[in-house]
Chains A and B, each alone.
Chain A
Amino acid sequence: MSAVMLGQPTRMSHLRHVVTDNPVTLVAAALFVLIVVVALFGPWLAPFDPMASDTSQALAAPSRLHPFGTDSLGRDLLSRCIVAARLDLLLAVSAVALSFVIGATLGAAAGFFGGWFDRIVSRVADTIMAFPLFVLAMGIIAALGNTLANIVIATAIINLPFYIRLARAEANVRRSAGFVESARLAGNSEWSVLMRHVFPNLLPPMAVQVSLNMGWAMLNAAGLSFIGLGVRPPTPEWGIMVAEGAQYIVSGEWWVALFPGACLMLAVFAFNLLGDALRDLLDPRMRT
């Protein structure tokens, strides 16, 4: 008992500090809630039918009737952006969920059991990371076919290494921890020890990774749609809407591309900020 010990703050006081220190966290939380609400209730919130085209209203600038303007087919852009939130969020969530479940399990098992299994899993993760990830996603979709499901699969695959590596590192550290030893001594099988005792402990650091990943998965999925993969017109999705609007930028009809792009940016921003806040809350040591 020696050096002046800064008392360990409680979870609640720490939460209070995180929120009050950084008002941006509150903004992030608000944005996140907004996006989830829009995604869940999109079709009911949209003022117009997102698919209804009216060529007499084509490429109308933002106005009171159409706050986001209209696209080349006269469809209301605000409605399309709102409805697109659901698809984009769904793509990102599915990809990350798939990636997390498979990656965390493989990684935890690899870190816990070691041996040849560890070598194979690590080799797979390394090989995925040997490519620029977006390029690999393109290749996977080219191979598997141009569908929405494959966008999810491709995005999930390129995210696997992050989860594998994190889970592996965390499981490795806890492999010979005290509580694990006592679980073994209590007669549990190795697999049971891994699943019931080690795995739950990995969840906090993985939660941070998940939220940070969400934004990136969204960017990837939208990027793939932008270059024409996965989503087909007339489906409203932010990436493809930006692609559809790109040609009108040079003639000055900026709203067709920029509003969907801004929506995408805000959503990704919210997820990234949330991830930062989560990390500050759970493990301030990781802060950069």
Chain B
Amino acid sequence: MIRLALLRILGALPNLIGVIVITFLLTRALPGDPAAYFAGQSASSEAVEQIRSKLGLDRPMPEQFVAYVRDLAQGNLGESLSTGQSVATEIASRLPASLELTLVALLLAVSIALPLGVMAAVRKGSWIDQFARLVTTAGVSLPVFFTGLLLTWLLYFKLGWAPSPIGRLDPSFSPPAQVTGLYLIDALIARDLPLWWASVKQLALPAVTMALFVLAPIARMTRASMLAVLSSDFVRTARALGLRGPTVLVRYALRNALLPVVTTLGMVFSFLLGSNVLVEKVFAWPGIGSFAIESLTAADYAPVQGFVLTMGLLYVLLNLAIDLAYLLIDPRVALEA
């Protein structure tokens, strides 16, 4: 088992290296003069030359790569022109906001999609099955930024149920003391319920928007997997042995059906992290996505590269986590050992 886990970790290394290489290439593939890009549009020619030697952009490529990796190891991602801070600091301070949004969206999506997929499979052909299929087909067609705006108009402007989409907290509240950076948790730690509720309210719309987007692949996979399992030999055996409906459903069908769903989570995370950027823009959410967009618009490139690198690393780690989790839940992996 340990051996398998180590193999998986080793398997993630090429992807890790790939991410670093690609982001390096992206920073050097800039058309024109990379130094000018990093110096900014209003920089004088001396400033550009200064940046050039400072960032080592006049050195041969292999040397630049080594320097790049060394910088990474030290946590140096360059500086943001617009904020003047180091990119690493900016990203670190904004990452919790993005993580909180992504995690809550994932939890929401799973808690709706799983039961939906299961019921659609168990009651195949019924209205709930049709509804599930509508959701899955429509879900992959909905542009996430459109959904966000539609929900804002409906639930904030028209119905007044949701608060104004101005970020993580209404200005009348101040953020909780930083423990994890996730307001929902930190507010609970500080036992500040009004603050917790205010955070929840602000989080609701953006999280729902993102959840809707990834609802479809999860529900679709759950339904397909459940259908396959329900018509399998071993479920028929369980029924033939007289086991009761709920037992068969949960112990024999569901647990087996969930395995392929876990492997789908990788793709789900790709959707989540991608749509994160768009949702952050719609709801003015102060995460790394909106940071990247602001920097892009301001022609400030170091933060964008830092953002792509961070997302890439995060994604590789998430996929590794899914692989390792799978090792734990499927006893048949021992077969490959």
Direct contact between the two chains A and B in their complex (CB within 8 A): yes
**Beta-carbon contact of B141 and A272 below 8 Å:** yes
Question: Given the complex, which residues of A lie within 8 Å of B29, measured CB to CB?
Answer: 143-144
**Beta-carbon contact of A288 and B220 below 8 Å:** yes
**Beta-carbon contact of B31 and A258 below 8 Å:** no
Residue of B nearest to A132 (CB): B273
Residue of B nearest to A141 (CB): B296
- Say yes or no for A264: interface residue by CB 8 A criterion: yes
Residue of B nearest to A142 (CB): B304
Interface centre among A134, A242, A251 (most CB of B within 10 A): A134
- Say yes or no for B176: interface residue by CB 8 A criterion: no
Once bound together, how far apart are the Cα atoms of A217 and B138, in whole Å?
A: 16
Interface centre among B23, B141, B305 (most CB of A within 10 A): B141
- Say yes or no for B18: interface residue by CB 8 A criterion: yes
Annotate B120-148 by CB proximity to A: 1 below 8 A, 0 otherwise: 00000000000000000110111111100
Question: Given the complex, which residues of A lie within 8 Å of B272, measured CB to CB?
Answer: 132
Once bound together, how far apart are the Cα atoms of A269 and B216, in whole Å?
A: 13
Annotate A122-156 by CB proximity to B: 1 below 8 A, 0 otherwise: 01001101111111101110111100000000000
Interface centre among A138, A144, A264, A265 (most CB of B within 10 A): A138
- Say yes or no for B165: interface residue by CB 8 A criterion: yes
Question: Given the complex, which residues of A lie within 8 Å of B106, measured CB to CB?
Answer: none
**Beta-carbon contact of A264 and B140 below 8 Å:** no
**Beta-carbon contact of A249 and B315 below 8 Å:** no
**Beta-carbon contact of A143 and B281 below 8 Å:** no
Once bound together, how far apart are the Cα atoms of A258 and B305, in whole Å?
A: 32
Given contacts A134-B277, A229-B296, A258-B150, contact A140 B26 (CB under 8 A): yes
A139 contacts which of B14, B144, B269, B305 (Cβ < 8 Å)?
B305
**Beta-carbon contact of B304 and A138 below 8 Å:** yes
Q: In the complex, identify which listed stretch (B58-66, B230-238, B306-314, B328-336) lies at the interface while the others stay far away.
A: B306-314
Number of interface residues of A (CB under 8 A): 49
**Beta-carbon contact of A262 and B296 below 8 Å:** no
Would you list which residues of chain B between 220 and 271 have a CB under 8 Å from chain A?
220-221, 223-224, 269-271
A261 contacts which of B138, B146, B275 (Cβ < 8 Å)?
B146
Residue of A nearest to B151 (CB): A249
Q: In the complex, identify which listed stretch (B77-85, B152-160, B187-195) lies at the interface while the others stay far away.
A: B152-160
- Say yes or no for B15: interface residue by CB 8 A criterion: yes
Q: In the complex, identify which listed stretch (A7-15, A164-172, A178-186, A218-226) lies at the interface while the others stay far away.
A: A218-226
Once bound together, how far apart are the Cα atoms of A273 and B307, in whole Å?
A: 34
The 6 closest A-B pairs by CB, nearest first: A134-B274, A261-B146, A127-B18, A139-B308, A132-B273, A269-B141
Q: Can you identify 18 A-B contacts, CB atoms within 8 angstroms?
A: A126-B15, A127-B19, A132-B271, A134-B275, A134-B277, A135-B311, A139-B23, A139-B26, A139-B307, A142-B296, A142-B305, A144-B31, A219-B141, A226-B281, A250-B156, A258-B146, A276-B137, A288-B224
A residues lining the B interface (CB < 8 Å): 123, 126-127, 129-136, 138-140, 142-145, 215-216, 219, 222-223, 226-229, 239, 242-243, 245-246, 249-252, 254, 257-258, 261-262, 264-265, 268-269, 272-273, 276, 288
